[in-house]
Amino acid sequence: MASDALISVEVCYAKPEVQAMVALSLPAGTTAAESVARSGLLSRFPEIDLQKNALGIAGKKVDGDRVLKEGERLEILRPLTADPKETRRRLAAQGKTMGRAKD
Task: Say which range, 52-56, 83-87, 88-92, 98-102, has the weakest mean pLDDT.
Answer: 98-102
**98 lies in some domain:** no
Say if residue 84's pLDDT is above 50.
yes
Domain containing residue 15? 6-93
CA-based nearest residue to 77, from 21, 32, 33, 15: 15
Q: Write b or e for each residue in 44-58: b if 16 or more Cβ atoms lie within 10 A of its Cβ, otherwise e.
A: ebeeeeeeebebbbe
CA–CA separation, 27 vs 97, rounded Å? 45
Q: What is the pTM of this model?
A: 0.74
Task: Please give the tally of structural domains in the chain.
Answer: 1
**1 lies in some domain:** no
pLDDT in the model for residue 11? 98
Q: What pLDDT, in 10s, does the model give residues 60-75?
A: 999 999 999 999 999 9
**64 lies in some domain:** yes
Q: What pLDDT, in 10s, does the model give residues 21-46?
A: 999 999 999 999 999 999 999 999 99
Terminal C-alpha separation, the chain: 46
**20 lies in some domain:** yes
**Domain of residue 79, CATH code:** 3.10.20.30
